[in-house]
A = this chain, B = another copy of it.
Amino acid sequence: MKTVLVVDDEPRIVELARDYLEHAGFAVLTAVDGPSALKAARARKPDLLVLDLGLPGMDGLDVARAIRRDSTLPIIMLTARDDELDRVLGLEIGADDYVTKPFSPRELVARIRAVLRRIDRESEPGDRIEASGVSIDIARMRVDVDGRTVELTPTEFQLLVALARQPGRIFTRSQLLDAIHGLAFESYERAIDAHVKNLRRKLEPDPSRPRYVQTVYGVGYRFAEERE
Contacts and interface: CB of A to CB of B under 8 A. Distances in A.
Interface of A: 81-82, 85-86, 89-90, 100, 102, 104, 106-107, 110, 113-114, 117, 120-121, 125, 139-142, 153-154, 166, 168-170, 172, 174-175, 178, 183-184, 186, 216-219, 222, 225
Contacts of A175: 117, 121
Contact of A110 (B89, B110, B139, B172): B89
How many protomers of this protein does the assembly include? 2
B125 A104 contact: no
A89 B107 contact: yes
Contacts of A120: 172
Given A140-B168, A183-B110, A104 B85 contact: yes
Given A89-B110, A100-B100, A110-B183, 10 more contacts: A86-B104, A86-B106, A100-B104, A114-B178, A114-B183, A120-B172, A139-B169, A139-B170, A140-B169, A141-B216
A209 to B, nearest CB: 16
Contacts of A142: 168
A125 B168 contact: yes
A167 to B, nearest CB: 10
A170 B86 contact: no
A82 B104 contact: yes
20 contacts: A81-B104, A85-B104, A85-B106, A86-B104, A89-B104, A89-B107, A110-B186, A117-B175, A121-B175, A125-B168, A125-B169, A139-B170, A140-B222, A140-B225, A141-B170, A141-B216, A141-B219, A153-B217, A154-B217, A154-B219
Contacts of A225: 140
A100 B183 CA distance: 17
B140 A170 contact: yes
Contacts of A153: 217-218
B117 A89 contact: no
A184 to B, nearest CB: 7
Nearest to A183: B114
Contacts of A178: 114, 117
